[in-house]
Amino acid sequence: MNLELNDKVIIITGAAKGIGRGIAEVFAGEGAVAVIVGRKAADNQLVVAEITAKGGRAFQVEAELSDPEACEKAVKAVIEQFGRIDGLVNNAGVNDGVGLEHGNYADFLSSLHKNVVHYYLMAHHALPELIRSKGAIVNITSKTGETGQGNTSAYAASNGARNALTREWAVELLKYNIRVNAIVVAECWTPQYETWIETLPDAAEKLKEISSKIPLENRMTTVEEIANTAAFLMSSRSSHTTGQIVYVDGGYVHLDRALANA
């Protein structure tokens, strides 16, 4: 299926690694210009080099998105380079473990800036161009916003907000024919996830335990599966889909855990 993303200029935040990188690679493979926005230019450039080596097109913008001014500068840099923005994938964030019992105000507020404030700011600053192009927004969110996790109040709150903003923006932007959707990630195998699980006493056993609770095929979601869904939601092939919160999780959130061991 031709997703009709050819020549589209699409911003992907947090695209130097993990899910964001996978999304950038899939978009570039579909002919889009993948704009890699991340805090380290060197990391961004590695992704750009890999994409261009495969014949794709990519551009990088160095930005610490927890800094509100950096969000505006990042969007302006894209407009200066290409003169347009056709899509935005809000993806950057970190499960930083700011809990209730042992957390504090400063860390909680800082985590909100890392995980949800820049979603708003990137969309806000990109909006004039998205209106012109009748573009689309895809927000990457986490199951923690619905299921909770424990000891990660700020991250869970941010993901609940990401889901709410998806629906709110879908309503507000109807008049511009801008579609806004979200993808909820549960257990997805990324370098960051691998690093975390290797810190546990029995990493292999823990991974097996987690995978056993994922109903469909008892395996982790792949980055490519998230990226493929993002490409579809960004494309005109999903032209009548907006305000949707799509769970790409092998049934982890909604299906009965008993099914995992059936």
| Residue 164: how many other CB atoms lie within 10 Å | 15
Q: How far apart are the first and last CA of the chain?
A: 35
CA–CA gap between residue 206 and residue 148 (Å, rounded): 19
CA–CA gap between residue 115 and residue 145 (Å, rounded): 12
Tokens of 135: 């573009």
Please indicate whether residue 105 is annotated as part of the active site: no
Q: Which of 105, 119, 155, 252 is catalytic?
A: 155
Provide the β-strand partners of residue 221: 188
Angle in degrees, 0-180, between the axes of helices 118-133 and 153-172, rounded to the nearest 10: 20
Rg (CA), the chain: 18
Give the residue numbers marked as catalytic.
155
